[in-house]
């Protein structure tokens, strides 16, 4: 069942071509291929994730990512907003942007700057990215744990279908990919 789905995604344009925005979820997304439970709308996942990215890194960083040859957006949270910091200012979302440009991977810094991954980070990232299991997991799976935190994840990389996930403990590979991006 998954192989025809992947073939359909490739032929329907869900694979991002370098230098172009990711596909519109409304016209060609997993939420139209898979049956999702009520309330799980991938548009909301994307909107929440992109809002957190803009809050932490700025809109220019998000736009740069969306027009890069490849990108990964990730946000992790435990469902409730974090408490304010000891200074009283709100804490920034736990989020990451990785972009692939001119054959190199870069990670966004708070405020919107990008730095190339170190050699050790790059080795670690390429091992995680080589695992195709996140693309096989469903777009949503009911959590199998009592701690229903989630990692929102959007991945658009060459040679792979566009990926959007509201990953949780029932989707360990997708969640692991999102957390790996954050932990670099």
Residue 98 placed within a domain: yes
Kindly list the distances between the CA atom of residue 113 and the CA atoms of 15, 43, 65, 124, in Å, as whole numbers in the listed order. Answer: 27, 27, 12, 21
Kindly list the distances between the CA atom of residue 101 and the CA atoms of 98, 111, 114, in Å, as whole numbers in the listed order. Answer: 10, 19, 11
Q: What is the pLDDT of residues 152-174, one digit of tens each?
A: 999 999 999 999 988 888 889 99
- Which residues does 159 contact at the CB level (< 8 Å), separation at least 6? 15
Total count of domains within the chain = 1
Residue 86 placed within a domain: no
DSSP for 66-120?
HTSSEEEEEEEE-SSPPPPPTTSSPPPPEEEEEEEETTEEEEE-TTS-EEEPPHH
Residue 176 placed within a domain: yes
Give the pLDDT score at 84.
67
Would you call 27 helix, strand, or coil by DSSP?
Answer: helix
Helix axes 59-66, 42-57, angle to 10 degrees: 120
How far is Cα 64 from Cα 44, in angstroms, rounded to an integer?
Answer: 21
Residue 146 placed within a domain: yes
Whether 58 shows a pLDDT value over 50: the answer reads: yes
Give the pLDDT score at 2.
37
Whether 121 shows a pLDDT value over 60: the answer reads: yes
Whether 17 shows a pLDDT value over 70: the answer reads: no
Domain extent for 63:
2-80+92-183
Q: What is the pLDDT of residues 27-41, one digit of tens each?
A: 333 333 345 555 567
Residue 52 placed within a domain: yes
60 versus 82: which is more confidently predicted?
60
pTM beyond cutoff 0.95:
no
Residue 20 placed within a domain: yes
């Amino acid at each position: 069942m998954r192989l025809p789905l992947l073939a359909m995604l490739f032929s329907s344009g869900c694979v991002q071509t370098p230098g172009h925005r990711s596909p519109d979820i409304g016209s060609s997304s997993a939420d139209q291929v898979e049956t999702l439970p009520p309330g799980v709308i991938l548009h909301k996942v994307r909107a929440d994730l992109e809002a957190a990215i803009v809050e932490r890194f700025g809109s220019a960083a998000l736009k740069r990512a969306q027009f890069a040859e490849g990108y990964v957006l990730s946000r992790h949270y435990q469902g409730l907003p974090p408490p304010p910091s000891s200074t009283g200012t709100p804490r920034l979302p736990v989020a990451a942007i990785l972009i692939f440009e001119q054959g190199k991977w870069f990670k966004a810094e708070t405020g919107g700057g990008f730095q190339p991954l170190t050699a050790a980070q790059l080795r670690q990232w390429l091992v995680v990215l080589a695992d195709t299991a996140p693309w096989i997991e469903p777009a949503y799976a009911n959590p199998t744990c009592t701690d229903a935190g989630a990692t929102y994840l959007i991945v658009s990389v060459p040679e792979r279908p566009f990926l959007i996930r509201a990953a949780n403990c029932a989707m360990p590979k997708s969640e692991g990919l999102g957390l790996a991006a954050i932990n670099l």
